[in-house]
């Protein structure tokens, strides 16, 4: 049996004809080799926070490459590496001065998990090995990150080889557990986490890992108010570290530089990637709190994780250029201000569609979930492949969005994710809204009847 990841597979977008061949990009637009132009409304998978072809970023990378591509971490430090560390600390908060640079989101999560384990070993609690994660979450494709991810199609071929983890329920106001009122969801979910910690035994739990705003696996799901703070209390009560996976929702995407800043919560460790380097070069980081760093440094002198390309000099130069622009042009503040307007505009454009069940998000991180029945919130039959259909209709209309499926229970559910660049103009955002409406209407009109 083949396990397909329908909305994500190349065939979902290209269906036999193959994918368009990318040629060049400028701002929010990407052009293919056949001369077609696409408005990149999702920034690929929520990556291109400054859009494409940014001349300042390209110039910074080129200048670095002309000097040297990479100074290997055991031989050298570098200006870009130290500048990027300073920019991250300035954006994330003074407590976050320790970090490990990597080449992407999975490595960032993998490093975060290892830092948590190292911390407990350093404290003399090496029995704390278990991670608790949530259903409908995605943390990456490396084996450790996959082991704490709940994305059925992507896990299936590897089941049996993944480290055992605990999963608590997803936390989704639109789809709360039966009998739980939306207003009671935060408390209910925090209690479920605490029960699982007690069941496993607090002395065996290393960390709770979660996406502050769930991305691809849930269709952009912000938490209910107060949830993160309650989880922080639970973790603190039991000596369990809190790891925030901010690979997709972080680095400003949700209108605060750290996604959890919005919730007023400081995690022990957080993972960033995607928007950190804006897609210009592969870049990510696991950033950890001073109190974690102190323990690790005292026992081991530093984190026992990293790779050949940790702190890659040109990648760090890309990150410095991107983060300097984000800061200088006050783009996180712009996302915070414009996000609610974008959400409202999508509401006006899509509100009359019976098949649109929920439009939600934070900042420039928005999900549109489709339902066969608005009243019962019943999803469409997976065999219809609605998300893939919307993705293909969008491509036809000259729009790149991010279709996803399985967000309800791992198999059922269809949604699209929008994540425009932070510097998209009002006119471009308006075009995204209009083309999204067109793509959804076209896909729905073409659904088989009955
Ligand atoms: C929340 C989250 N964590 C981790 C990852 C893995 O990142 P990468 O694909 O860069 O390895 C992703 C990728 O989509 C993600 O969305």
Within a 10 A sphere around the Cβ of 379, how many other Cβ atoms? 25
- At residue 195's C-alpha, the angle toward residues 191 and 197, to 5°, is 115
**Ligand 1 contacts CB of residue 266 (under 6 A):** no
Residue ranges in 257-305 assigned as alpha helix (H): 290-300
pLDDT for the residue numbered 4: 44
Burial 424-433 (b: 16+ CB within 10 A, else e): beeebbebbb
pLDDT value, residue 14? 41
292: pLDDT strictly greater than 80: yes
User: What confidence score (pLDDT) does residue 153 get?
Assistant: 83
pLDDT tier, 450 (very low <50, low <70, confident <90, very high otherwise): low
Decide the pairing of beta strands 22-26 and 37-40: unpaired
The response to whether residue 104 sits with its C-beta less than 6 Å from ligand 1 reads yes
**pLDDT class of 151 with cuts at 50, 70, 90:** confident
Pocket lining: 276 vs ligand 1, CB cutoff 6 Å: no
CB contact at 8 A, 26 and 53: yes
Closest Cα partner for 137 from 149, 127, 145, 153?
149
Residue whose structure tokens are 């050298």:
76
Is 106 touching ligand 1 by the criterion CB < 6 Å?
A: yes
DSSP structure string for 364-398: TEEEEEE-SBTTTTBPPPGGG-HHHHHHHHHHHTT
Kindly indicate the confidence band of residue 18, based on its pLDDT and cuts at 50, 70 and 90: confident
When pLDDT is averaged across residues 176-203 and rounded to a whole number, the result is: 97
Please tell me the total number of residues recorded for the chain in this structure: 450
> What is the model's pLDDT at position 3?
39
C-alpha distances in angstroms, 66 versus 53, 70, 71, 360, 421? 19, 11, 13, 44, 28
β partners of residue 31:
24, 37
What strand order describes the sheet that includes 130-134? Answer: 98-102, 284-288, 269-272, 241-245, 205-210, 130-134, 166-168
Q: What is the pTM of this model?
A: 0.96
Q: 5 pLDDT band (50/70/90 cuts)?
A: very low
Q: Ligand 1: which residue has its CA nearest to atom 4?
A: 139
Query: Average pLDDT of 404-430?
Result: 97
Out of 149, 247, 275, 417, mutate this one to test ligand 1's pocket (max ligand atoms within 8 Å of CB): namely 247
* DSSP structure string for 104-135: SHHHHHHHHHHHHHHHHHHTT-TT--EEEEES
Is the pLDDT at 285 greater than 80? The verdict is yes
Q: pLDDT value at position 443?
A: 98
For 345-361, the pLDDT digits (tens) are 999 999 999 999 999 99
What residue spans of 136-280 are helical by DSSP H?
143-147, 152-155, 185-200, 227-237
Closest ligand 1 atom to Cα of 274: 10
> Could you identify the atom of ligand 1 that is nearest to the CA of residue 109?
4
Mean pLDDT on 22-40: 98
Q: Kindly report the backbone phi and psi dihedral angles of residue 101, in degrees, each rounded to the nearest multiple of 5, phi listed first.
A: -85, 145
Ligand 1: atom nearest CA of 107 is 11
Residue nearest to atom 3 of ligand 1 (CA): 139
**Token pair 């070069």: residue:** 281
Which whole number is the average pLDDT over 418-422?
A: 98
Q: Is it the case that residue 7 has pLDDT exceeding 80?
A: no
Neighbours of 96 (CB within 10 A): 24
4 versus 172: which is more confidently predicted?
Answer: 172
113 lines ligand 1 (CB under 6 A): no
Give SS3 for 24.
strand
């Amino acid at each position: 049996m083949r396990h397909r990841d329908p909305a994500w597979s190349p065939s979902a977008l290209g269906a036999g004809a193959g994918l368009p061949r990318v040629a060049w990009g400028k701002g929010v637009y990407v052009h293919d080799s056949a001369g077609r132009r696409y408005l990149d409304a999702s920034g690929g998978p929520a990556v291109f926070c400054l859009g494409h072809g940014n001349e300042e970023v390209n110039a910074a990378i080129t200048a670095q490459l002309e000097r040297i591509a990479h100074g290997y971490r055991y031989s050298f430090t570098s200006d870009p590496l130290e500048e990027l560390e300073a920019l991250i600390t300035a954006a994330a908060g003074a407590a976050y001065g320790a970090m490990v640079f990597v080449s992407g989101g999975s490595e960032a999560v993998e490093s975060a998990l290892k830092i948590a384990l190292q911390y407990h070993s350093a404290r003399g609690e090496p029995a704390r090995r278990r991670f608790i994660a949530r259903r409908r979450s995605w943390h990456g494709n490396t084996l450790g990150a996959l082991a704490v991810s709940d994305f059925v199609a992507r896990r299936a071929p590897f089941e049996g080889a993944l480290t055992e983890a605990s999963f608590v329920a997803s936390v989704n106001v639109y789809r709360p557990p039966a009998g739980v009122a939306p207003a009671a969801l935060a408390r209910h979910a925090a209690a479920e986490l605490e029960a699982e910690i007690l069941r496993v035994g607090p002395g065996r739990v290393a960390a709770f890992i979660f996406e502050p705003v769930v991305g691809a696996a849930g269709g952009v799901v912000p938490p209910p108010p107060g949830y993160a703070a309650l989880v922080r209390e639970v973790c603190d009560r039991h000596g369990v570290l809190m790891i925030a996976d901010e690979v997709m929702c972080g680095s400003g995407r949700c209108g605060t530089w750290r996604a959890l800043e919005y919730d007023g919560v400081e995690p022990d460790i957080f993972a960033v990637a995607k928007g950190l380097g804006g897609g210009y070069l592969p870049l990510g980081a696991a950033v950890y709190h001073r109190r974690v760093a102190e323990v690790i440094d005292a026992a081991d002198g530093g984190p026992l994780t990293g790779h050949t390309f940790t702190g890659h000099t040109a990648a760090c130069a890309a990150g410095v250029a991107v983060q300097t622009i984000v800061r200088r042009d006050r783009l996180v503040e712009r996302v915070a201000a414009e996000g609610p307007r974008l959400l409202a505009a999508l509401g006006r454009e899509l509100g009359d569609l019976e098949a649109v069940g929920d439009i939600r998000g934070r900042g420039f991180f928005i999900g549109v979930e489709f339902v066969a029945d608005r009243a019962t919130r019943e999803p469409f039959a997976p065999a219809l492949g609605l998300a893939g259909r919307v993705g293909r209709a969008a491509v036809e209309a000259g729009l790149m969005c991010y279709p996803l499926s399985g967000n309800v229970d791992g198999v059922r559910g269809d949604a699209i994710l929008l994540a425009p660049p932070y510097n998209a103009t009002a006119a471009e955002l308006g075009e995204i809204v209009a083309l999204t409406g067109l793509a959804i209407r076209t896909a729905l009109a073409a659904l088989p009847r009955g």
